[in-house]
Structure 1
Amino acid sequence: MSVTALQWLNEIARLPLPDRVRIMNVCGGHERTVAMAGLRTVLPPQVEIIPGPGCPVCVCPEQDIHDAIRLALDHGVILLAFGDMLRVPGNLPKGEVRSLEQARGAGADVRPIASPLEAVAVARANPARPVVFFAAGFETTTAPVAAMLLDAPPANLFLLLSARRTSPTVAMLLESERPSFDALLAPGHVCAVMGQEEWGFVVDRHAVPAAVAGFTPDSLLAATYSVLRQIVEGRCFLDNCYPQVVQAGGNPFAQRQLLQAMDVIDAQWRGIGTIPKSGYRIGQAFAAHDARLRFPTAPTAAGTTRPRAGQMPPGCDCAKVVLGKIYPDHCRLYGRACTPRAPIGPCMVSDEGACRIWWTSRARSPVLAASGE
């Protein structure tokens, strides 16, 4: 018989917990369930659930967004992207095109899609035009992109790839002088593809309790109970609290496709910097579909650079939110200059962004709530 969310809460309440326990999730789906189900309001007050680097749209390099905008405006391509990417702003002066949505308003052919199969369909329906798929995502959405490359895509389909790997970022946080969490909820969807074993370093190298969680309140509370019990009992192990989907070894077929189609590289994370072995690049065998090779960006004039290129917008604390250093409502712009209607930082754009999730779940101060947003 399955254990209900209420039963898990009762089990957690019985634990002799320390004064403060910080548990990080690294999945926008986890954070959405935590916020929408109000789990923070029913857990013991000393238990903190910290949103971490779980939003690929939020960490997509600003330069990639700028390149996508220029491709759409300057090269006459059909530019495809997952819907959230269309509204993410780049660091450009007011009056200039700052997002793919604005590029579409300026006449560019920009279209939202939901899967790589749609990109293939658009390319086949428009054989005389180049089609660029701006593919940002973590392993879960990158594996289907790899499959698309391996399945002989149309010659007019190109990829502007901005794919990232989740575990290297957590490794970076744990290797810092002051990690911002005491336990980890590992992302169930990533583990389903890459295997839970990829997260073994959290326990083995850093002695931090960890549990794989699904996306329902009962699964998240089961994982929360597991890591809290590990802390109370003074032992660490990687627990799989999502066995319905996550199996030992993950999905070997998807892993092989990623290895065949792409190379693992050091990669930029917006506002954070370069993280070793945290990104993917299109493999040499598929260079004919690499938009960066087919449409190289124009070189910058000697001695000049774009102001604030690669950075977060002024005043935006999205990078601190992504790293779990502050809660979304502690950002200087949250609910003031930055709301879902007029986002400034990327974390307020995506449905997986912590700021957007908190705002949607009405995590607002009384003063801000009066604004009517």
Structure 2
Amino acid sequence: MPAQTIAQTWLARIRELALPRPIRLMNVCGGHERSISFSGIRGALPPGIEIIPGPGCPVCVCPEEDLYEAIRLSLEEDVVLVAFGDMLRVPANVPKGEPRSLEQARAAGADVRPVASPQEAASIARAEPDKPVVFFVAGFETTTAPVAAMLAEGVPDNLLILLAARLTWPAVAMLLDSGEAAFDALIAPGHVATVMGPEEWSFVVERHRMPAAIAGFTPESLLAATYSVLRQTIEDRPFLDNCYPELVRPGGNPTARRWLSEVMQVEDANWRGIGIIPDSGFALRPAWQHLDARRVFPAPEDTRRRAGEMPPGCDCASVVLGRIFPDQCRLYGRACTPRNPIGPCMVSDEGACRIWWSSGLREARSA
């Protein structure tokens, strides 16, 4: 059956459901949000069903102080600074007139280069043997596993890692444990479950009796997951449904998990605008800490006035936590646009504000 027909069938089944009340679903993944927005799923659903974008953008939650450290290293040390492309435009809080992003640092003379993969970072290090090459790594499990594999297989001695990687599920756990979660069911990220296994999301059902389904990135998979959690809600029978069986298997990807376990350890970590979330960050294990850029280039004490915060007026933290929609941010479509991003959610292709803007929603919601 063609994909479009499958999607239409799921949508028809959703429209036949008798909902007991308005239901709010949170999707965790930036890729999910992009598919939902660009395929028109949100507008096609019956009234009473809301889909809320959640904390699925690693660029958006990368600590501001880590970004500032990357900018500082690129400008003050004789290094090549490499990072995934989205990170180059994320703004840090610096005094007026100073470079506020890696892109601006490059314009000021720093050797900053975008990369698309860990292997590209290693290749640059091999091509520049007389210089430290600092790989600024922000990402979730799917990004961190290839970095761990690269380190396990061996890298040039001059390749250093500035790590700002996070696990996905602890942010959702924090929201649910706080008792302030503004959603009734969860659509969990299929790519993370492919690596880590669906079991990581069982706490949503077991601890909180909340319906949950793992989805892929096509409209038909997302609509299947939506139908599943709505049925679970109506029947008061929450369980973890795998609506991405093509790739998601029990236990996940054992090779990727082995690399992560061998190279990385998990510790408490800061999320930009949110704060410390327990057991939510990756760090290098002792055997690889000689490659830690923070140890090789210790940072001076940070005395910036807004160190670690979101920019003034930016509501990205509330967007990431699903407390407001992107077009409810005070800066959305006014001071903050993709051409001039104020907050990180307007920078990345996985940021909800950038996705909503790119899908055609260009004006802020009226108060």
Preserved contact between residue 328 and residue 365 of structure 2 (Cα < 8 Å) = no
Distance apart, 1:365 and its partner CA: 3.2
* Structure 1 residue aligned with 2:120: 118
For the residue of structure 1 that corresponds to 2:208, the secondary structure is coil
Name which of 349, 361, 364 aligns with 1:363: 361
Matched ranges for 1:165-204 at <5 A = 165-204=167-206
CA contact (8 A) 1:25 1:50 kept: yes
TM-score by length of 1: 0.96
Q: What does 1:3-82 correspond to in 2, within 5 Å?
A: 4-82=6-84
- Amino acid in structure 2 at the alignment position of 1:335: G
Report the equivalent of 1:315. Answer: 313
Question: What amino acid does structure 1 have at the position aligned with 2:308?
Answer: G
In structure 2, how many angstroms separate the alpha carbons of the residues matched to 1:152 and 1:142? 16
User: 1:180, 1:366 → 2: CA distance?
Assistant: 21
Instruction: Provide the C-alpha distance between the structure 2 equivalents of 1:122 and 1:66, rounded to a whole number of angstroms.
Output: 22
Inter-CA distance 356–242: structure 2 relative to 1 (3 Å threshold): same
| CA RMSD of superposed structures (Å) | 1.3
Q: Which among 299, 313, 330 is matched to residue 328 of structure 2?
A: 330
1:84 maps to 2:86: yes
* Aligned 8 A contact 2:327 2:364 in 1: no
Which amino acid letter does the alignment assign opposite residue 215 of structure 1? F
| Alignment-mate amino acid for residue 229 of structure 1 | R
Cα offset for 1:364?
Answer: 2.7
Count of matched residue positions in the alignment of Structure 1 and Structure 2? 364
Q: Match for 1:344 among 342, 345, 349?
A: 342
- Counterpart CA distance in 1 for 2:285 and 2:156 is 17
Distance of 1:283 and 1:216 partners within structure 2: 37
Check whether the contact 1:18–1:46 (CA below 8 A) recurs between aligned residues. no
The answer for the alignment partner of 2:219 in structure 1 is: 217
Q: What is the distance in 1 between the residues matched to 2:337 and 2:120?
A: 30
TM-score normalised by the chain length of structure 2 = 0.97
Counterpart in the other structure of 1:241: 243
Alpha-carbon displacement from aligned partner over 1:19-72 (angstroms, at most 9, x marks no partner): 310000000000000000011110011100000000000000000000000110
Deviations 1:201-220 (A, max 9, x none): 00000000000000000000
CA distance in 2, matches of 1:348, 1:94: 20
**Alpha-carbon distance change, 114 to 366 in structure 1, aligned in 2, over 3 angstroms:** closer
Would the aligned equivalents of 1:52 and 1:324 in 2 still touch at CA under 8 Å? yes
What is the distance in 1 between the residues matched to 2:289 and 2:300?
Answer: 19
- In structure 1, give the amino acid aligned to 2:114: P
Distance in 2 (alpha carbons) for counterparts of 1:205 and 1:243: 24
Paired with 2:63 and 2:254, the residues of 1 have a C-alpha distance of: 29
Q: How far apart are the structure 1 equivalents of 2:27 and 2:218? A: 14
CA distance in 2, matches of 1:49, 1:349: 21
Q: Describe the shift of the 1:275–1:126 C-alpha distance in structure 2 as closer, same or farther (beyond 3 A).
A: same
**d(CA) in 1 for partners of 2:27, 2:365:** 29
Identity of aligned residues (%): 67
Report the residue type matching 1:119 in the other structure.
A
Query: What's the secondary structure of 2:178's corresponding residue?
Result: coil
Cα deviation, residue 18, structure 1: 2.5
Structure 1 unpaired stretches of 5+: 369-373
**C-alpha separation in 1, matches of 2:31 and 2:365:** 28
C-alpha distance in structure 1 between counterparts of 2:253 and 2:179, whole Å: 34
AA partner of residue 250 (structure 2):
A
Q: Is the 1:77–1:130 Cα contact (8 Å) retained in structure 2?
A: yes
Report the residue type matching 1:90 in the other structure: A
Residue 339 of structure 2 aligns to a residue whose secondary structure is coil
Q: How many angstroms apart in 1 are the aligned matches of 2:363 and 2:134? A: 42
Q: Which stretches in structure 2 are left out of the alignment for 5+ residues?
A: none
| Structure 1 partner of 2:102 | 100
Query: What does 1:258-337 align with in structure 2 at a 5 Å threshold?
Result: 258-300=260-302, 305-337=303-335
- SS of the residue corresponding to residue 320 of structure 1 reads helix
Q: CA deviation at 1:366?
A: 8.8
Q: Is the 8 A contact 2:197 2:251 kept in 1?
A: yes
Amino acid at match of 2:323: K
